[in-house]
Structure 1
């Protein structure tokens, strides 16, 4: 089969023939119809992000496609079924703390790297091997709309954070990093989950205005100044009442100042979920005041990715019309132009815009 291969960090992708995936028990081979390209894919492929990924490797995290073949233990999936391929692959020999690899992107620790040896090849290819439990049925899909369905791989990340924060209908959530790729998706997902109000801080006035235009009065935006104390008060003042949940999705390039400013807007007994990249490339660690956390009974937790059931829940939200994939604009490239797709994803600053590779 044909695939785009990262031979070494910093090298262009090489589009060439590679061996077909070999199907085993507990696995599914999927014909890739659309694979999303993350805006920071170029940073991963250059090595700038320092992700645990071992070249040579086929990159690409997640895909939408059609089942080509199933293992002998599959009882529901059949060739031809449309599926969402979840790139979060978990080991099966420790239910409590499984090792994790992000297929075609990264891994967590030595165990994740061992898992990557088998499931490391990603979705910039004609075919993809995934664990059976990572192929989620989508029902009937118009092939022309396959690119839009890759938005699920994007939305799953903030959805995992909102689930971890136990967002409830009618609550007010503040999305730290709301003008980013994942942050703007978090605004859409929070509203789809029934948030009464989403406070969206940021410095990009064009994106903030777009969020207000797209979602109406349930989204309240805040233009950040960079002064921590002032920004905190402005965020609190923008909310219609106490802020129940803060979700941080700021990237590695951000400092800890806006993270702390946002986190400390949460009400007494509120929840803070950290799932961004601040500190991953060095710099100061996040400092939150012990007395503030303790005396206000604040829950602070980290969340990496999302639980398995999030896939089914998010697909159901799309099917019910709560999350509208038509809001996403798709720019597609064929596999031979994978390098152009990566460059386009890095340069396209629009939110709710997807870059996809269609092998």
Structure 2
């Protein structure tokens, strides 16, 4: 099969013939039809992000495809079914604290690296092998639809944060990082889950205005000034009621003071989900006042990715018409132009932009 292979950090992907995956028990092989390219994939490939990857590897986290072959433990899937390939692979021998690898992207700890050595290769290829539980039925779609459905991979991340924060219909939410790729996805997901209002702080007034244009008056934009106390009060004033839940999904480049300003808008007994990159590139971490957390009974939840059933639940939101994949503007490349796709993703990584490879 044809695949794009990363052989060394800092080198371009090599397009070549690779061995087809071999089916094992508890596994499914999928013909990849479309797969998204992360806007920071170049930083993974050149080593800047220091992701744990045992090279050479076929990269690509998740994708949309059709079932090619199933193992004996699959009782609902059938050959030819349209599916979402969930890249969050979990070890099966510890349900309480499983090791995790993001197939085709990175792994966490020694256990995650062991997972990666088996479920090694991702979706920048004509075929990929996944654990049975990571193959999520989509229902009937067309080959053309597959490009748009790649947005699931972006939307799933903030959805996992809101599930962890137990977001309830009718609540007021603040998304820290609302003008970014994942942050704008968080706005659409929160509204689809029934949030009464989403406060969207940011510096880019054009993007803030676009969020209001897309989603209407339930979005409350706030132009940030960089002054922590002033910004915190502005965010509180923008909310029509006390802020029940804050989701932070800021990138590593952002100052922790910006994140702290947003986090500390939450009401007493409120919930905070941390999914961003504060401190990952070095520098100060997020410092929050102990007395404020304790006396206000604030729940702070660190979240990496999402629970195993999240993809199926998110697909149901799309099927119900509550979450619109049509918000995304997609640009597609074939596998021979995978390196060009990576460059395009870097230059076009804003809100509701999608770069896709169609093997």
Scaled by the length of structure 2, the TM-score of the pair is 0.99
Structure 1 contact 28–130 (Cα < 8 Å) conserved: yes
Instruction: Look up the SS of the partner of 1:141 in the other structure.
Output: coil
How do residues 55-66 of structure 1 correspond to structure 2 at under 5 angstroms?
55-66=55-66
Matched, 1:164 2:182: no
Structure 2 contact 35–358 (Cα < 8 Å) conserved: yes
Shift of 1:54: 1.6
Name the counterpart of 2:98. 98
Matched, 1:315 2:315: yes
Once residues 109 and 255 of structure 1 are traced to their aligned partners in structure 2, the CA distance between those partners, rounded to angstroms, is 27
Structure 1 contact 34–63 (Cα < 8 Å) conserved: yes
How do residues 183-332 of structure 1 correspond to structure 2 at under 5 angstroms?
183-332=183-332
Instruction: Look up the SS of the partner of 1:297 in the other structure.
Output: coil
Once residues 294 and 329 of structure 2 are traced to their aligned partners in structure 1, the CA distance between those partners, rounded to angstroms, is 44
Name the counterpart of 1:70. 70
Once residues 37 and 347 of structure 2 are traced to their aligned partners in structure 1, the CA distance between those partners, rounded to angstroms, is 12
Name the counterpart of 2:355. 355
Structure 1 contact 101–120 (Cα < 8 Å) conserved: no
Name the counterpart of 1:48. 48
Once residues 259 and 351 of structure 2 are traced to their aligned partners in structure 1, the CA distance between those partners, rounded to angstroms, is 21
Once residues 300 and 311 of structure 1 are traced to their aligned partners in structure 2, the CA distance between those partners, rounded to angstroms, is 23
Shift of 1:350: 3.5
Once residues 183 and 327 of structure 1 are traced to their aligned partners in structure 2, the CA distance between those partners, rounded to angstroms, is 14
Aligned residues: 359
| 1:306-349 superposed Cα distances (whole Å, 9 cap, x missing partner) | 00111111010011000011111110000000000000000014
Matched, 1:124 2:124: yes
| 1:224-263 superposed Cα distances (whole Å, 9 cap, x missing partner) | 1111111101111111110000000001111101110000
Once residues 140 and 326 of structure 1 are traced to their aligned partners in structure 2, the CA distance between those partners, rounded to angstroms, is 17
Once residues 209 and 277 of structure 1 are traced to their aligned partners in structure 2, the CA distance between those partners, rounded to angstroms, is 25
Structure 2 contact 155–185 (Cα < 8 Å) conserved: yes
Instruction: Look up the SS of the partner of 1:35 in the other structure.
Output: strand
Name the counterpart of 1:182. 182
Runs of 4+ in 1 over 2 A off after TM superposition: none
Q: What residue ranges of structure 2 are gaps of 5+ in the alignment?
A: none
Instruction: Look up the SS of the partner of 2:61 in the other structure.
Output: coil
| 1:264-316 superposed Cα distances (whole Å, 9 cap, x missing partner) | 00000000110111111211011000000001110111000000111111010
Instruction: Look up the SS of the partner of 2:195 in the other structure.
Output: coil
Name the counterpart of 1:142. 142
Once residues 128 and 217 of structure 2 are traced to their aligned partners in structure 1, the CA distance between those partners, rounded to angstroms, is 42
Instruction: Look up the SS of the partner of 1:163 in the other structure.
Output: helix
Once residues 147 and 57 of structure 1 are traced to their aligned partners in structure 2, the CA distance between those partners, rounded to angstroms, is 23
Structure 2 contact 243–266 (Cα < 8 Å) conserved: yes
Instruction: Look up the SS of the partner of 2:314 in the other structure.
Output: helix
